[in-house]
């Protein structure tokens, strides 16, 4: 079991959504929170809610796509708190476009935040955890790190990469007291679709259509997601699936690894076709 009470927990992308829900839940369990984001107002609101329940929290404005900024953040945590005990790499963004419409600029934007932000967060804080001899690293992937869907090639690429990186790290930490978890949320009620990048020529109409469709599909609240992640950390679960939809899709992929698309995508529909978007949206 991973002890949470009294531990220093770092969470990126904590200004809203899964990041906020997880931060508040861990604060309820006695953790000291060090939360980051680029959304100053949202970050302040998360801190306010944590303090309202008697939690301890410090906030940091950090661009996870900036390696130097992430390492500077890690150094601040080392100086102020004696290093991190639990690190949750959660910050992420989405890009909605077909492969033949997807620009390299937008592809790199997603990968720099979702994938490289996770890599920087892991490598910057891992030495602190190793120095302590125990701890927990949690990387947030998605159900889109289990299956691929139309119009989500960039996001799928990042989330599959997070899964692969995290599983490799878990194998490397075998025999130590450092635990590693990969989180796969299903449809969570966050702002990721409204903050996503869309193909510019259809942005106005497609964004509203996608956001409306997502709101209907997203069943799990950020608070419930935070509770599930906290429980997964406490139990040292290697894979944390959030929501019934995530569990069903995971099972479907296992049963039909190469043909699940025939069931899920029987007709061409708009962005987020066949599955609810997941995660946290912070540019």
User: Per the structure block, which two tokens stand in for 19?
Assistant: 């990041």
- The closest of 5, 70, 16, 90 to 47, measured between CA atoms, is 16
End-to-end CA distance of the chain: 34
- Residue 164 to residue 158: CA distance in whole angstroms: 10
Q: How many residues comprise the chain?
A: 283
Question: Annotated catalytic, 155?
Answer: yes
**Which member of 71, 104, 120, 155 is catalytic?**
155
For the record, the structure tokens of 164 come out as 């692969």
Q: Which residues of the chain have pLDDT under 70?
A: 188-219, 266-283
**Largest alpha-carbon pair distance within the chain?**
55
Q: What whole-number distance in Å separates Cα of residue 273 and Cα of residue 7?
A: 40
Q: Quote the crossing angle between the two packed helices 116-132 and 153-172, to the nearest 10°.
A: 20
Half-sphere exposure of 34 (CA within 13 A, CB side): 25
Residue 280 has what pLDDT? 38
CA distance 47 to 112: 26
pLDDT at 158: 98
* Category of 83 on φ-ψ map: left (φ > 0), alpha (ψ -120 to 50) or beta: left
* pLDDT reported for residue 248: 85
CB 12 within 8 A of CB 88: yes
SS3 242: strand
94's enclosing H/E stretch is none
Q: What is the pLDDT of residue 194?
A: 44
Residue 194, exposed/middle/buried by CB under 10 A (0-12, 13-18, 19+)? middle
Per residue, the 3-state secondary structure of 30-72, as one string, reads CCEEEEEECCHHHHHHHHHHHHHCCCEEEEEECCCCCHHHHHH
Q: What is the pLDDT of residue 205?
A: 53
Residue 209: name the closest of 155, 260, 151, 159 by CA: 151
Using a cut of 0.95, tell me whether the model's pTM lies above it. no
- Answer whether 196's CB lies under 8 Å from 97's CB: no
Question: What is the structure's pLDDT at 261?
Answer: 79
Beta-ladder partners of 8: 32
| Alpha-carbon torsion, ordered 171, 176, 179, 180, to 10 deg | -20
Please count the other Cβ atoms lying within 10 Å of the Cβ belonging to residue 44.
13
Quickly count helices (H) and strands (E) in the chain: 10, 9
pLDDT at 282: 39
């303090």: which residue's tokens?
51
User: 121 is written with which tokens?
Assistant: 């967060």
């Amino acid at each position: 079991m991973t002890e949470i009470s009294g531990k220093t927990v770092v969470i990126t992308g904590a200004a809203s959504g899964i990041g906020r829900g997880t931060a508040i839940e861990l604060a309820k369990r006695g953790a000291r929170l060090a939360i980051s984001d680029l959304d100053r107002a949202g970050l302040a609101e998360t801190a306010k809610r944590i303090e309202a329940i008697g939690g301890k929290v410090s906030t940091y404005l950090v661009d996870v796509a900036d390696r130097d900024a992430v390492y500077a953040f890690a150094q601040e945590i080392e100086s102020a708190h004696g290093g991190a005990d639990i690190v949750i790499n959660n910050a992420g963004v989405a890009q909605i476009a077909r492969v033949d419409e997807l620009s390299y600029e937008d592809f790199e934007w997603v990968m720099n935040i979702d994938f490289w932000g996770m890599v920087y967060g892991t490598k910057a804080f891992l030495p602190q955890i190793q120095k302590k001899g125990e701890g927990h690293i949690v990387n947030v992937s998605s159900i889109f790190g289990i299956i691929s869907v139309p119009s989500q090639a960039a996001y799928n690429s990042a989330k599959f990469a997070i899964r692969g990186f995290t599983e490799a790290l878990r194998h490397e930490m075998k025999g130590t007291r450092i635990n590693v978890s990969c989180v796969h949320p299903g449809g969570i009620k966050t702002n990721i679709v409204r903050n996503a990048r869309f193909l510019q020529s259809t942005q106005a109409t497609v964004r509203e259509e996608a956001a409306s469709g997502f709101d209907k599909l997203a069943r799990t609240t950020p608070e419930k997601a935070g509770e599930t992640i906290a429980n997964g950390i406490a139990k040292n679960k290697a894979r944390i699936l959030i929501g019934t939809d995530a569990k069903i899709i995971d099972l479907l992929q296992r049963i039909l690894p190469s043909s699940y698309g025939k069931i899920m995508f029987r007709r061409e529909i708009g962005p987020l076709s066949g599955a609810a978007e997941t995660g946290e949206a912070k540019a």
